[in-house]
Amino acid sequence: MKLITELFEDVQYIAEAKENGEKEHFIEGVFLQANRKNRNGRIYPLNIMEGEVNRYMNEVVKHNRGYGELGHPQGPQINLDRVSHIITELRRDGDNFVGKARLTDTPMGNIAKGLLKSGANLGVSSRGMGTLTPGKDGAMIVGPDFRLATAADIVADPSAPDAFVKGIMEGVEWVYDPVKDSWHEEKLDNMRKSMNKMTINQIEENKIAIFESYLTSLMSKK
């Protein structure tokens, strides 16, 4: 499974007053989109996207675990020390899924608030795992195993008004370990297992070959 991220620029900053007079700060906009070939050439079929959004809402958002981070995380895991907001809503609007997220009183949340109050142009980037298969006209179709890690991280570099998609870590395969409830890099994990069978001398003698093999495996998947 590949780590897939999607960038969306059109996000609004909202401040709402609570009953006690304090303000809550939100971002709102299109977080996800289906049935359209994006600039990275990927298409999310509506039935797959809608099914995963329903799962994400029921299993994650409704339990106040719809965390998002500030910046571009390098993997599918949620890093609690980088959480900047909690997703509170995600609803379908045609082929779009409009989301709303409350900014948290955390170090990263406060940074995001300060940037938005200063007029910074921030956007959101969804982060998910899934397999890709070739479709028509060079498009890559996201498969039914698609799973959201988060519907929205806050990012500073969205570059298109609607559904500009950019994949990161395209050459890295990740697998889910249900026992540890975590994702890990398949190639690195396999390499560690192989090295555990070697003596220290064998590892020393073969470390260059091991490293080159890893680089080759990544390049072959691009």
Active site residues: 72, 125
Query: Which among 139, 159, 146 has a CA at the least distance from the CA of 42?
Result: 139
DSSP H stretches of helix in the chain: 46-59, 107-117, 186-196, 200-219
Could you write out the DSSP letters of every residue in 126-178?
Answer: EEEEE-EEE-GGG-EEEPTT-EEEEEEEEES---SSS-EE--SSTT-BEEEET
Neighbours of 99 (CB within 10 A): 26
Amino acid at 180: K
Beta-carbon contacts of 219 under 8 Å, excluding residues fewer than 6 positions away, are 171
CA–CA separation, 202 and 194 (whole Å)? 11
Quick check: 147 and 52 in contact, CB under 8 A? yes
H-run or E-run covering 93: strand 83-93
Enter the tokens of residue 114.
Answer: 């300060």
Beta-carbon contacts of 120 under 8 Å, excluding residues fewer than 6 positions away, are 156
